Amino acid sequence: MSRIEKRIRKWRNPSFRQDVPLEDIFTVLNTFFPDSYEFGGKRGSHIITVWHDCLKGESNFGIDGDFTIPTTGGKKIKHFYLKKLIEAIDIIKECEK
């Protein structure tokens, strides 16, 4: 099992309640969303915008298959925002089978 898979497995655990460093998120995004995310698209923004073609038409995601992940102080992600990311990863894995 790779480090990224271990990290995602840890995030799936319902008892996981820690904030996650931004670097950990970027590692996962580079694996599952290469060239499909943007950090701080607007000046002063600390929001990650993520999109993928497999997410188009899925509930809980934008019409263009996008969603956002806000950061805390531009350095960390709250644990409850990881659920949306994990849901997106599961949809992408299923779509690419």
Q: Identify the domain containing residue 72 by its residue range.
A: 3-95
| Distances 46 to 21, 23, 38, 89 between C-alpha atoms, Å | 13, 14, 10, 22
pLDDT in tens, 62-79: 999 999 999 988 899 999
The closest of 37, 25, 2 to 78, measured between CA atoms, is: 25
Cβ neighbours for 81, distance < 8 A, ≥ 6 positions apart: 69, 70
pLDDT of residue 32 exceeding 70, the answer is yes
Into how many domains does the chain fold? 1
3-state secondary structure of 79: helix
Residues 89, 52: contact at Cβ < 8 Å?
no
Q: What is the pLDDT of residues 44-56, one digit of tens each?
A: 678 999 999 999 9
pTM over 0.85: yes
